[in-house]
A and B are shown apart, each in its own frame.
Chain A
Amino acid sequence: GEDVEQSLFLSVREGDSSVINCTYTDSSSTYLYWYKQEPGAGLQLLTYIFSNMDMKQDQRLTVLLNKKDKHLSLRIADTQTGDSAIYFCAEILSGAGSYQLTFGKGTKLSVIP
């Protein structure tokens, strides 16, 4: 079956870079996503990458995809206290008409001032 794995916690100092890692198992995944959940809020789509890409950059966010190793990472440059949240990695399962997302358990990022 499918499985998405993430480390549960990450702590960084304000101004440093954060790297959140994720591994997935479905080699036929078409899209991979990063969602952010702030306390008491819903899931906010941060960015996504198509499986034929190996990198995507969007301002302070860089997504790297190693399809051979089924490894996805999210790098946040110049991490701020407002970046403290839970970050979820997710993949779309392939299948006719099926768009169900499979999530990891989430990585709680704590930013130390």
Chain B
Amino acid sequence: EAGVTQFPSHSVIEKGQTVTLRCDPISGHDNLYWYRRVMGKEIKFLLHFVKESKQDESGMPNNRFLAERTGGTYSTLKVQPAELEDSGVYFCASSRAGTGGNEQFFGPGTRLTVL
């Protein structure tokens, strides 16, 4: 089966601009997650969708970040307006519903650079 895909792989924008990241989970996976790794720190959880609903968005840093998953398939993460501290690698992951071990399969990440 195809893995989790993310687009773009890299994005370079200026402070104040808007960027939209896209994630396509593994087909049939109801759970979709966003994480990010900023400046060599730990990978941090952002939010968790179950189908199209936000199950847990406790990791979203502020209201400049908006995640959507219309139709319960792919998801987008919009940053508007972008700030310097938003630079980092944004990972998406997906898992099946009801998976006991909740094995989360990760995409390759989008490297975001805000200048």
Interface residues of A (CB under 8 A from B): 4, 31, 35, 40-45, 48, 50, 88, 92, 97-105
Contact = CB atoms under 8 A, between A and B. Distances in A.
Contacts of A105: 40-42
Contacts of B55: 97-98
Nearest to B107: A42
Given A45-B104, A98-B56, A101-B43, 20 more contacts: A31-B102, A42-B108, A42-B109, A43-B43, A45-B103, A45-B105, A50-B101, A88-B43, A98-B48, A99-B48, A99-B102, A99-B104, A100-B33, A101-B33, A101-B45, A103-B42, A103-B43, A103-B44, A104-B42, A105-B42
| Prevailing SS type, chain A contact patch | strand
The 6 closest A-B pairs by CB, nearest first: A100-B45, A43-B106, A42-B108, A103-B43, A42-B106, A99-B102
30 contacts: A31-B101, A41-B108, A42-B3, A42-B91, A42-B107, A42-B108, A43-B43, A43-B91, A44-B106, A45-B103, A45-B104, A45-B106, A50-B101, A92-B102, A97-B56, A99-B31, A99-B33, A99-B48, A99-B102, A100-B48, A100-B56, A100-B58, A100-B59, A101-B43, A102-B45, A103-B35, A103-B43, A103-B44, A105-B40, A105-B42
